[in-house]
């Protein structure tokens, strides 16, 4: 069988692969605790579910406009105006099958083969592969634990050249939980204008910020700026709707039109029932978000404290999202003996923890950051306690 070079070139999603492996082990009767998948353990709020049931009963079961129903686009407009202080028209919005599809469509619409895409690391798994799929080149900008994984405008400037087409910003960040400083974001925004670079702002974790962290949408910094930015968001994380698969993008009309063309020939409209449910998510009562955020906040503090109690591990307290990203490089330097080999990378370490402690987590290497592990705390406190007991035991010097 001949597989295309394009597909040979990309790696499978490790977040999804490890989550699937944990589920398989559970089906085999193992008591696996999963810190792998980045998804809330809460159910979708009742009012949202009810709207979906009504939509089914009313027979809302036909194709919709490929780029999404007007009612949902209007709810998105209102949301962006109210929460993010950005004004858009419906022609500047597209609804897709998850924020993941919005990202994919955006990158394919903007990038030609050989174009460079600036990508701050550690970064979420799918950006790198989507960039490669488009034939573009990821240019990594490393951020560091000692600087709170913050991104600085000077670092961005250093990587800009005539091939630079796009920058991907993800704040609050998956996997580090960093929320970028507003002053730096403003400086980065000026670079976009000066060097004519587009920017994807992946704001999917915007509602999940803790302590005094504040999220800023840089598309709100004026009309000229808005012309360079594609703001991406969705209902997966804020409304515990990962399986419903609704994400959206807002940006310059020409880019949104390009994305709609791709969507029109690939998946067509996102699920009709899920679109109706998402209208309720955005327009209906919002208290479920704060309830989840408070629960995540408690788990965040507990998980990070426990991780830092383990000798050889250091973990920053994340300001947003729902991941802890501990530095395990000292453990890798020591090298745990396992199956006749010394474990010296995060992939083998996460595999060892999965096999021997039955705790699933993601290696830092999946996020272009060797020497770290990612643990999602969007799971029950009880599981977090048990999972960390097991990890502590197995990593003891
Ligand atoms: N961006 C980031 C940073 C993510 O972690 C995820 C994870 N699901 C997505 C986008 C995609 O979200 P979805 O497709 O579920 O809307
Ligand atoms: N975004 C989540 C994560 O990082 C869900 C899985 C995925 O889509 O990658 O784990």
**Percentage with pLDDT > 70 across the chain:** 100
Is residue 37's pLDDT more than 90? Answer: no
Domain check: are 152 and 235 in the same one? yes
Ligand nearest to the CA of 16: 2
Question: How confident is the model over 391-396, as a mean pLDDT?
Answer: 93
Domain check: are 238 and 152 in the same one? yes
CA-based R_g, the chain, Å = 21
Question: Would you state the pLDDT for residue 397?
Answer: 72
Contact criterion met (CB below 8 Å) for 272 and 357: no
How far away, in angstroms, is 99 Cα from ligand 1 center?
A: 6
Atom of ligand 1 nearest to the CA of 234: 16
The full DSSP string for 60-122 is --S---TT--HHHHHHHHHHHHHHH-----GGGEEEESHHHHHHHHHHHHHPPTT-EEEEEES
Domain check: are 92 and 223 in the same one? yes
Domain check: are 135 and 275 in the same one? yes
Domain check: are 97 and 215 in the same one? yes
Domain check: are 279 and 131 in the same one? yes
Assessment of whether the complete model's pTM goes beyond 0.85: yes
Question: Would you state the pLDDT for residue 282?
Answer: 98
Give the residue from 171, 143, 168 showing the smallest Cα distance to 320.
171
Q: Is the peptide bond before 122 cis (omega within 30 degrees of 0)?
A: yes
What residue's CA is closest to ligand 2, atom 10? 38
Name the band, by pLDDT with cuts 50, 70 and 90, for residue 172.
Answer: very high
Is residue 48's pLDDT more than 80? Answer: yes
* Number of DSSP helices (H) and strands (E) in the chain, helices first: 15, 14
The domain boundary, picked from 249, 283, 317, lies at 283
Contact criterion met (CB below 8 Å) for 40 and 364: no
Question: Would you state the pLDDT for residue 1?
Answer: 76
We report the CATH number of the domain holding residue 123 as: 3.40.640.10
Question: How confident is the model over 170-190, as a mean pLDDT?
Answer: 96
Could you give the CA distance from residue 170 to residue 119 in angstroms, rounded to a whole number?
Answer: 9
The domain boundary, picked from 251, 283, 315, lies at 283
Domain check: are 273 and 147 in the same one? yes
- Ligand 1 and 98: CB distance under 6 A: yes
Is residue 396's pLDDT more than 90? Answer: no
How far away, in angstroms, is 57 Cα from ligand 2 center?
A: 32
Domain check: are 75 and 188 in the same one? yes
| Cα dihedral 345→40→117→190 (10° resolution) | -120
How far away, in angstroms, is 94 Cα from ligand 1 center?
A: 16
Atom of ligand 1 nearest to the CA of 174: 3
Number of domains in the chain: 2
Domain check: are 57 and 185 in the same one? yes
Give the residue from 168, 246, 177 showing the smallest Cα distance to 200.
168
- Ligand 1 and 234: CB distance under 6 A: yes
Q: Residue 21 CB: number of other CB atoms within 10 A?
A: 16
Atom of ligand 2 nearest to the CA of 13: 9
**Which domain range does residue 98 map to?**
46-283
How far away, in angstroms, is 125 Cα from ligand 2 center?
A: 8
Domain check: are 209 and 158 in the same one? yes
Domain check: are 38 and 116 in the same one? no
Question: Would you state the pLDDT for residue 252?
Answer: 98
Domain check: are 345 and 279 in the same one? no
Strand 247-250 versus strand 93-96 pairing type: antiparallel
Question: Would you state the pLDDT for residue 286?
Answer: 96
Q: Residue 8 CB: number of other CB atoms within 10 A?
A: 8
The domain boundary, picked from 255, 283, 311, lies at 283
């Amino acid at each position: 069988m001949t597989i295309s070079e394009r597909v040979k070139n990309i790696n499978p999603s490790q977040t999804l692969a490890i989550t699937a492996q944990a589920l398989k082990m559970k089906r085999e009767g193992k008591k696996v605790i999963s810190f792998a998948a980045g998804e809330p353990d809460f159910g979708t709020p009742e009012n949202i579910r009810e709207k979906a049931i009504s939509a089914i009963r009313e027979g809302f079961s036909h194709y919709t406009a490929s780029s999404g129903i007007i009612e949902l686009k209007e709810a998105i407009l209102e949301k962006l105006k109210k929460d993010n202080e950005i004004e858009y028209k419906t022609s500047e919005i597209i609804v897709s099958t998850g924020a993941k599809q919005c990202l994919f469509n955006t990158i394919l619409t903007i990038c030609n083969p050989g174009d460079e895409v600036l990508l701050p690391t550690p970064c979420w798994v799918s950006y790198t592969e989507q960039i490669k799929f488009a034939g573009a080149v990821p240019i990594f900008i490393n951020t560091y634990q000692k600087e709170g994984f913050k991104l600085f405008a000077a670092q961005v400037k250093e990587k800009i050249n005539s091939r630079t087409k796009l920058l991907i910003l993800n704040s609050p960040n998956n996997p580090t939980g960093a929320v970028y400083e507003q002053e730096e974001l403003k400086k980065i925004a000026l670079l976009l204008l000066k060097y004519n670079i587009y920017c994807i702002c992946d704001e999917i974790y915007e509602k999940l910020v803790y302590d005094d962290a504040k999220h800023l949408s840089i598309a709100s910094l004026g009309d000229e700026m808005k012309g360079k930015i594609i703001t991406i968001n969705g209902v997966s994380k804020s409304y515990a709707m990962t399986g419903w698969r609704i994400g959206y993008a807002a940006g310059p009309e020409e880019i949104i039109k390009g994305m709609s063309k791709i969507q029109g020939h690939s998946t067509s409209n996102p699920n009709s029932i899920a679109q109706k449910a998402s209208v309720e998510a955005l327009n209906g009562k919002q208290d479920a978000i704060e309830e989840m955020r408070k629960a995540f906040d408690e788990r965040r503090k507990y998980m990070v404290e426990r991780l830092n109690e383990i000798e050889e591990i250091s973990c920053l307290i994340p300001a947003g999202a729902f991941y802890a990203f501990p530095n395990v490089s000292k453990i890798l330097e020591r090298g745990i003996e396992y199956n006749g080999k010394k474990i010296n990378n995060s992939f083998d370490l996460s595999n060892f923890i999965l096999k021997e402690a039955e705790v699933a987590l993601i290696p830092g290497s999946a996020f272009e950051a060797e020497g770290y592990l990612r643990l999602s705390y969007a799971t029950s406190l009880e599981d977090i306690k048990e999972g960390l007991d097991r990890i502590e035991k197995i990593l003891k010097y």
